Structure 1
Amino acid sequence: MRKLSPLRRGPGGPVRRLLGAGTTRGGLAPGAAGPHEPAPGRLPRGRLVPRTTRGRRRAVQGLMLAAVCALAPATWLHAVAGDRTGTVTGSPDREVAVVFGAGLREGRPTPYLAHRLDAAAELYRAGKVRVVLVTGDNSRVDYDEPDAMRTYLVRRGVPDGRIVSDHAGFDTWDSCVRAKRIFGVDRAVLVTQGFHIKRALALCDAAGIESYGVGVAEPHDRIWYYGGVRELFAAGKAALDVALRPDPRFLGPREAGVTEALAASAAAP
C-alpha cells in the first residue's frame, strides 16, 4: 500500500499548520466571503438602490408620500388656525382666558410659562378678559402647576377670585375638553407660545370652544427650536384626538368655578 507523504497526513498535520489554524485549503477563513460574494452582514453592492428606473421611481414616490403624511397634520393645524392669532393688544374681548401649563422649576413657573402668565395678566388689566382659567398638571402631590400659576398671577395684580384652576389639564386636548365640559367655557382667548398656539386653537375648536389665540413671542433659543420640532410630532397626535375624540384621562363632575367668578366680576363695582 502506498504511504501518504508526511505533509498530507491528517487534518492537524503540517499542511494545517502551514495554512494556519483558521484557514482552509483555499486560503480563506471558514465563513469568509469569496471573491464574488458579499462580506457577512453586508448587502451586495447596489442592493440599497433599486436597479431599474421603475424601482427608483417607486422609491422616490414612497419617500414623497412619507413626507406628505408627516407634514399633513401640521398643514391642517395652520389651515384651521387661519388668522385667529395675534398679540394681547389685538385680541378681541372674551370673558375667559385659558392659560396652558408649561412646567415648573423648583415649584415656580418656568420662563416660558411665566411669559404666558404675563400675557394673561396683561389681558386682564386691559379689560380683554374677566376670568383666567389656568390648566395644568397636578398628578403628584409635590407638583402643582395650577397653584403655582395662580400665585404668579396674583403677584401680578390679578385678583385671586378671578382665577380658576383646572388641576387635570394633563395635555392640550384634556385641557380643551375639560374647559368646555367641566367648566362650561364656550368662548375664550388661549394663551401660549407661538409654536403651540395653532394646535391649541384646533383642539379647542374640536372641543366646542370658539377661540382666539395669543401667541407669546420668544427668542429663538434652544427651547424654542425644541418646541417647534416637538410640534411636528404633536400635530399627529392632535389629528388623532380630533378624529377619535377620546375622553380626558380624568373628567369628573362639572365645576362652577368659571361661572361663579364671572358672576362675581359682574357684581363688582
Structure 2
Amino acid sequence: MAWAVWWRRALLTVAAGTVLAVAATVGSANWIRAGAEGHTFTVEDVPDAPVALVLGAQVYTDGQPSAFLAARLEIARQLYAAGKVRAILVSGDHMEWAYDEPGAMSRWLVDRGVPPQRVVLDHAGFDTYDLCARARRIFGVERATVITQSFHLARAVTLCRQLGVDANGVGDDTVQRYQAMWRRGELREYGASVKAAWDVLSGRDPVHLGRREPGVDDALRG
C-alpha cells in the first residue's frame, strides 16, 4: 500500500514538473517572439544603424570560421559595403588562448575589404546574453543591427533590446543546406529561450565585465 502511495506521488510530481516545464518553454518562446516583432529585416530593407553586432559561432582549428559564422560575417560585410553600418563589433568566445572567435571574425572581414579600423573585437561574448550586455555596458552601443542565423535571431534581438540596445536584426538562411545542424539549432532555441528569460529576470552580470572600452567610439569617429 505504501509503495502505491509513493508511486502516485512520484507520478504527480513528474506530471507537475512536466506541465511547469512546458509552460515555461511556451511562455519564454512567446516573450522572445513578441520582443522581436517588427525588428527583423533583410539586408536590403534593414534600417541604417551605427554598428553591426555579429554573434560568434564555431571556428575550426585552422582558424577559419565555420559555414554558419562565415554566413553571418558576409551579411555584415554587405551591410558595411552598402553604407548601412559604419562599424562592426564582432563578439565571441576567446575563453582559451588557442580558440579565438573574434580574431577569426576580424581577419575574415579585413581579408574581404572591411577596413581594420572599422572592426572592433569583443573577446568575452560567451553567450547571447553576455554579448548583448557587453555591447551596451562595455562598448557603449545604443543602436545596432544584430546578425545571426534566422532561427536564433528573435532571441538575439529581444535580449539586446531588453538590455538597452535599440536593436534590429538580419538573419541568415543560406546555411539551411546543413539540415542536421540547422534542426539542432532550431531545437536548441526552446531551452535557450527559457534561459534567456531567466537571465533577464535575474539581471545577472555577464561572466566578464571589465572597464569601459572605447573601440566602437573610435571606429565610428574613424
Please indicate, yes or no, whether the TM-score normalized by the shorter chain is above 0.5.
yes
Distance 2:22 2:121 in 1: 40
- 2:161 is aligned, of 200, 205, 209, to 205
**Which amino acid in structure 1 is aligned with residue 176 of structure 2?**
P
Deviation at 1:62, TM superposition (A): 7.7
| Alpha carbons 2:43, 2:79 under 8 Å: kept | yes
**Which amino acid in structure 1 is aligned with residue 53 of structure 2?**
V
Distance 1:251 1:244 in 2: 17
Partner of 1:99 in structure 2?
A: 54
Partner of 2:188 in structure 1?
A: 230
Distance 1:167 1:212 in 2: 22
Bigger relative contact order (CA 8 A; separation at least 6): 2
Partner of 1:83 in structure 2?
A: 38
Distance 1:64 1:262, change over 3 A: same
**Which amino acid in structure 2 is aligned with residue 253 of structure 1?**
R
Write out the 4+ residue segments of structure 1 that deviate beyond 6 Å after TM superposition: 59-62
Distance 1:60 1:192, change over 3 A: same
Distance 1:48 1:62 in 2: 15
Partner of 1:260 in structure 2?
A: 218
Secondary structure of the 1:108 match is coil
Distance 1:189 1:166 in 2: 16
Distance 1:60 1:115, change over 3 A: same
Partner of 2:135 in structure 1?
A: 179
Identity of aligned residues (%): 46
Greater Rg by CA: 1
Deviation at 1:69, TM superposition (A): 2.6
Deviation at 1:171, TM superposition (A): 0.7
- Show CA shifts across 1:49-91 (max 9, x none): 9xxxxx99xx989865543232211111001111210111111
Distance 1:61 1:171, change over 3 A: closer
- Show CA shifts across 1:168-207 (max 9, x none): 1111111011100111100000000011111111111121
Distance 1:108 1:62, change over 3 A: closer
- Show CA shifts across 1:84-136 (max 9, x none): 10111111000100001011112211100000000000000010000000001
**Which amino acid in structure 1 is aligned with residue 100 of structure 2?**
D
Stretches of structure 1 lacking an aligned partner (at least 5 in a row)? 1-42, 50-54, 265-269
| Alpha carbons 2:25, 2:193 under 8 Å: kept | no
Distance 1:227 1:202 in 2: 17
Worse-superposed segment, 182-191 or 217-226: 217-226
Partner of 1:31 in structure 2?
A: none
Distance 1:241 1:134 in 2: 22
Distance 1:60 1:179 in 2: 41
**Which amino acid in structure 2 is aligned with residue 256 of structure 1?**
P
**Which amino acid in structure 2 is aligned with residue 202 of structure 1?**
T
Partner of 1:72 in structure 2?
A: 27
Once the two structures are superposed, the pairs formed by residues 1-269 of structure 1 within 5 Å of their partners are 66-106=21-61, 107-217=63-173, 218-219=175-176, 221-264=179-222
Distance 1:250 1:149 in 2: 20
**Which amino acid in structure 1 is aligned with residue 137 of structure 2?**
R
Secondary structure of the 1:70 match is helix
Secondary structure of the 2:157 match is helix
Q: Which structure is higher in helix share?
A: 2
- Normalised by the size of structure 1, how large is the TM-score? 0.75
Secondary structure of the 2:176 match is coil
Stretches of structure 2 lacking an aligned partner (at least 5 in a row)? none
- Normalised by the size of structure 2, how large is the TM-score? 0.90
